[in-house]
Amino acid sequence: MIPVKIKINPGAFLPKYQSKSSAGLDLHAFLEEPIIISPGKTKLIPTGLFLEIPSGYEAQIRPRSGLALKNGITFLNSPGTIDADYRGEIKIIVTNLGPDNFEVTNGLRIAQMVFAKVYQAYFTETKSLSETSRNQGGFGHTGL
């Protein structure tokens, strides 16, 4: 476990693990009034939460599988990353890929948040890279 400081707007919902072994905490919508997301449209959903994540970690924001399967609800930037130095409100970029309007109401469990260790890279410039059996093959080159 890692220590994460949280600031919560009055009336917002504390993130919560739904079971003992859950990887992700559920995040709730924090709304004054419902938001309708039409098919093919995207809306920004506030949570009323602000975090102070320890350096060397990130919070990943991921769709909830039930909303994805039953309603076609997903995120354009999945997983979204909350960096350790970000102090603004956590907001979720929600897209409706389903055939019907989707109503987001206050308190709806809209996303999951997973914490992960982050490794920063340094680069060594070179004129060539080592050869592999794959080399430049990509984008489905090995078949389905």
- Is residue 59 pLDDT above 90, yes or no? yes
For 26, phi then psi, to 5°, come to -80, 135
Average pLDDT over residues 118-137: 90
In this prediction, residue 119 carries a pLDDT of 95
DSSP secondary structure letter of residue 66: H
Q: Contact at 8 Å (CB) between 113 and 59?
A: yes
In this prediction, residue 60 carries a pLDDT of 98
Average pLDDT over residues 90-98: 97
**What residue segments make up the domains of the chain, in order of their start?**
5-117
- Is residue 142 pLDDT above 90, yes or no? no
- Is residue 141 pLDDT above 80, yes or no? no
In this prediction, residue 133 carries a pLDDT of 83
Q: What is the average pLDDT value for the chain, to the nearest integer?
A: 95
pLDDT band at 70 (very low <50, low <70, confident <90, very high): very high
In this prediction, residue 41 carries a pLDDT of 98
The per-residue b/e assignment along 13-25, b for 16 or more CB within 10 angstroms, e otherwise, is bebeeeeeeeebb
- Of 31, 21, 84, the closest CA to residue 54 belongs to 84
Window from 39-43, 44-48, 70-74, 131-135 with minimum mean pLDDT = 131-135
CATH of 5-117, one of 3.90.1300.10, 3.30.980.10, 2.60.40.10, 2.70.40.10: 2.70.40.10
**Residue 11 region, left (φ>0) first, then alpha (ψ -120 to 50), else beta?**
left
Average pLDDT over residues 29-34: 98
